[in-house]
Structure 1
Amino acid sequence: MFSLNNIVLPEKLESKLSFLSNYSVEFGAWAKGITGSNWTMIWLILGFILLLVFKNSTEKLDDFKLNYKTALWSGIAFSGGVLSLNKVSEFLYFNF
């Protein structure tokens, strides 16, 4: 979901970008919605770095070459999935 009606920037930028107040941009605690410990921001930054460094699924698909090894593992995973369809599983969301 995306919305432009609740933009909050750090207070340090208010002196340079004060004209944005006319466009319902607020200045203040920009990360007050992120709850957690002191490590939360560090984990977010590390996650963003990992996101930029590693390949996404489209890039992996471009490099994908079908061979016997991937076909064998795909067949094993498919067979395991089909064989597990006859088991009764509990509806977990009923407990919530």
Structure 2
Amino acid sequence: MAPLAHDPGTLFPRLHLYTWAAAPGEYRTYGNLLITFGLVGLWHGAGWTFVFWGFLHGVALVINRWWRRFNIKLPKFIAWFITFNFVNLAWVFFRAKSFSDALKVIRGMLGMDGVVLPARCQPWLQAWHIQGLKFGQAAMGFDIKTIGVSLVGAFILCLLFRNSIEMKNALKPAWYTTLLAAVLAVSGILSLTRVSEFIYFNF
């Protein structure tokens, strides 16, 4: 999965732990994936929600490998839609303090606790008597126009522009890229003396 595959922090377990545990056999490979990504989750935080978050990515990779056996390709949009929503759901466990909190958030994401629409939609939709549909102020105080514009902008950035991997592959060494890399390297070295909290302590 993209979020873990591009995370430098997962490089050691993915390149060393998985390689060390690798052995012939399809089901052994599945087991190695689950163990490796479960430990990747543990590396990110000492809690079962982190382990489960990593484990879910391992499950997704197992399903992906199993699906390839049938040589059936899903339409690109459907494959993207499934992956995008799976990652969104899995990351809930990364941020949640407990499984009960995570499940509460997921219930809200799926509309199982009702869906709130702007009050101005009530005259058109109330006649349908849709169960769980409520009318009032949108979540977090944002109106539907702001949410809609934000979503459209996000989709444009994701779908029409190159991602970091594509930009890396297209990068051609030049004097200005070398200069930029040198500036970033020097800046990083000089900042080593600063005292900062380990980033994952914030979760």
TM superposition score category, shorter chain reference: 0.5 to 0.7
Identity of aligned residues (%): 33
Counterpart residue number, 1:88: 195
Question: How far is 1:41 from its partner?
Answer: 2.6
Q: Where in structure 1 do 4 or more consecutive aligned residues deviate above 3 Å?
A: 5-8, 88-94
Counterpart residue number, 2:148: 41
Q: Please give the alpha-carbon distance, in whole angstroms, between the structure 1 residues aligned to 2:157 and 2:192.
A: 35
Which structure: larger Rg? 1
Matched, 1:50 2:157: yes
- Give structure 1 stretches of 5+ with no counterpart: 9-26
Q: Please give the alpha-carbon distance, in whole angstroms, between the structure 2 residues aligned to 1:56 and 1:69.
A: 21
Q: Equivalent residue of 1:88, what SS?
A: coil
Q: Please give the alpha-carbon distance, in whole angstroms, between the structure 2 residues aligned to 1:43 and 1:91.
A: 31
Distance 1:28 1:41, change over 3 A: farther
Distance 1:90 1:46, change over 3 A: closer
Give the CA RMSD over aligned residues: 3.6
Q: Please give the alpha-carbon distance, in whole angstroms, between the structure 1 residues aligned to 2:153 and 2:172.
A: 31
Q: Please give the alpha-carbon distance, in whole angstroms, between the structure 1 residues aligned to 2:153 and 2:166.
A: 21
TM-score (norm. length: structure 2): 0.28
Counterpart residue number, 1:76: 183
Deviations 1:59-86 (A, max 9, x none): 1122111112111111111111101211
Provide the aligned length of Structure 1 versus Structure 2: 72
Q: Please give the alpha-carbon distance, in whole angstroms, between the structure 1 residues aligned to 2:169 and 2:194.
A: 36
Q: Which residue identity does 1:62 align to in structure 2?
A: N
- Give structure 2 stretches of 5+ with no counterpart: 1-89, 92-105, 112-130
Q: Which residue identity does 2:139 align to in structure 1?
A: T
TM-score (norm. length: structure 1): 0.54
Counterpart residue number, 1:13: none
Greater helix content: 2
Q: Which residue identity does 1:35 align to in structure 2?
A: A
Counterpart residue number, 1:59: 166
